[in-house]
């Protein structure tokens, strides 16, 4: 079902400060950033320099609005790990397979994720307390930027 660990998402209050921290502390570099109005986030993807294209990335997620999922997460938990994203080749097929196992998906239909990807989420209560995202990249898995 899962072809790779696509990214791990971290909720942050200040995106620019978090990017600077990851760069200056761990040497990670930004590969992509965007605003996703529907999800209520300003986000950036980072990876270790020299990582092959397609390697697992870190996604920094800052809230755009006070009623967004990330704002609620920050209010409740403070900054920290918010999600684990699995890459799949066919998000509808993955959704059907997980529904058949009794897991709840958050959306009826896939929504738009980073860089034109198609995404859905498994409810954290059905995945061991982890918010699991399913992500079907827009093009090949070789280049999602």
Report the half-sphere exposure of 93 (CA within 13 A, side-chain side): 7
- Judged by beta carbon, residue 21 or residue 106, the one nearer ligand V0V is 106
H/E run at residue 85 = strand 80-87
Q: Is 133 a binder of ligand V0V (CB under 6 A)? A: yes
- Judged by beta carbon, residue 44 or residue 61, the one nearer ligand V0V is 61
Angle at 20 between CA 18 and CA 25, to 5 degrees: 100
Q: Are strands 80-87 and 57-63 parallel, antiparallel or unpaired?
A: unpaired
Q: Is 50 a binder of ligand V0V (CB under 6 A)? A: no
Restricted to residues 93-122, the positions that interact with ligand V0V (CB under 6 A) are: 106, 113-114, 117, 119, 121
Q: How far is the CB of 51 from ligand V0V (least distance, A)?
A: 18
């Amino acid at each position: 079902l899962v072809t790779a660990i696509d990214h791990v998402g971290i909720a942050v209050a200040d995106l620019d400060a978090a990017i600077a921290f990851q760069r200056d502390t761990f040497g990670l570099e930004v590969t992509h950033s965007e605003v996703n109005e529907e999800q209520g986030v300003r986000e950036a993807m980072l990876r270790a320099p020299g990582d092959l294209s397609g390697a697992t990335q870190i996604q920094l997620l800052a809230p755009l609005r006070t009623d967004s999922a990330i704002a609620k997460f920050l209010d409740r938990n403070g900054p920290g790990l918010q999600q684990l994203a699995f890459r799949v080749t066919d998000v509808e097929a993955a959704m059907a397979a997980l529904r058949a196992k009794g897991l709840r998906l958050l959306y009826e239909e896939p929504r738009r994720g980073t860089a034109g990807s198609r995404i859905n989420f498994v409810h954290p209560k059905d995945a061991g307390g982890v918010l699991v995202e399913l992500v079907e990249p827009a093009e090949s898995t070789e280049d999602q930027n």
